[in-house]
Amino acid sequence: MKGQSIFLFLFSLLLPWSSVFSQFPGDNSRNNGSKPTLDGFAEVSWEASYGQVRDKFLSLAANPQSDEKIEVVHEDKEKSLLVRRNGIFYLYRFYSTPKLVLDSRPKDKNQPRPEKETSPDEDEHLEPGKLFSVGVSFRYLPGKEVQSKLENKYGKPKKETFDDKKIGGAVIWELTDERQAPPAGGFIVQWKEAYKKQPFTRRVDYFSSKVKAQIEKEYKEFFSAEEIKTLRDLIP
């Protein structure tokens, strides 16, 4: 099932880091008692719809008064949008709750969910995709320089991991407001890899903490959804 494979891919993208962040709870104080949070990427907020983000970049690309070079390179409706902006690639990723999970939940008789017919080739989702991650890709840059720029804006990272050669790995920032549940904000992963025997970076990923928590919760629901749905059909 295509819908299932997409859902598993999204969760696999987040799963390796969920255990890391659980070891480093948010610290709501830095310098003068506050720290930056990550409420979105650049001018786009987390949970913005696919349509909103797409329309924004199509409008910017068509604006004759803009000095920026913007192109929508590829789009996968409600799932991803690849934008090239001034020579840098930005992959906007979107998430929506799988239909199987929605169908397994108790129905609200006062607010019935509208039915939507889907063809066998379509992913089984009812809700519009909402922004949960942005991946930034660029030419190789010295890893220390990229990390320094991120630290200047977001402070010291929460965690840094290394490969066996102590060159590649990942640097992780947690930028959340723990007073909310699930926590607002997000986290950043800077990837380092060996290039000419030195740590270089060509990719940085930004994630929404709130949607990450939603994906983790619905991942657990997903694997029991079919059984729940079957029981409901057997015992109306």
Kindly report, residue by residue over 110-143, the tens digit of the pLDDT. Answer: 445 555 454 444 455 567 899 999 999 999 999 9
Return the beta strands (E) in 6-79 as ranges.
Answer: 40-41, 44-45, 70-76
pTM comes to 0.73
User: Identity (one letter) of the amino acid at 228?
Assistant: I
The residue ranking higher by pLDDT, 34 or 157, is 157
Q: Quote the CA–CA distance of 51 and 44 in Å, as a whole number.
A: 12
User: Identity (one letter) of the amino acid at 39?
Assistant: D
What average pLDDT score do residues 91-109 get?
76
In percent, how much of the chain has pLDDT > 90? 49
Q: What is the pLDDT of residue 177?
A: 80
Kindly report, residue by residue over 149-174, the tens digit of the pLDDT. Answer: 999 999 999 999 998 888 999 999 99
Question: Where does the pLDDT of residue 45 fall: very low under 50, low under 70, confident under 90, or very high at 90 and above?
Answer: very high
Burial class (CB in 10 A: 0-12, 13-18, 19+), 233: exposed
Q: What is the pLDDT of residue 215?
A: 80
Q: What is the pLDDT of residue 178?
A: 75
From the list 7, 226, 9, 2, the residue with the least C-alpha distance to 100 is: 226
Task: List the single range of 23-32, 99-108, 155-164, 227-236 with lowest mean pLDDT.
Answer: 23-32
The residue ranking higher by pLDDT, 229 or 49, is 49
Kindly report, residue by residue over 49-87, the tens digit of the pLDDT. Answer: 999 999 999 999 999 998 999 999 999 999 999 999 999
Kindly report, residue by residue over 204-218, the tens digit of the pLDDT. Answer: 999 999 998 888 777
Task: List the single range of 29-33, 103-107, 108-112, 148-152 with lowest mean pLDDT.
Answer: 29-33
From the list 31, 131, 17, 37, the residue with the least C-alpha distance to 81 is: 131
From the list 204, 235, 208, the residue with the least C-alpha distance to 130 is: 208
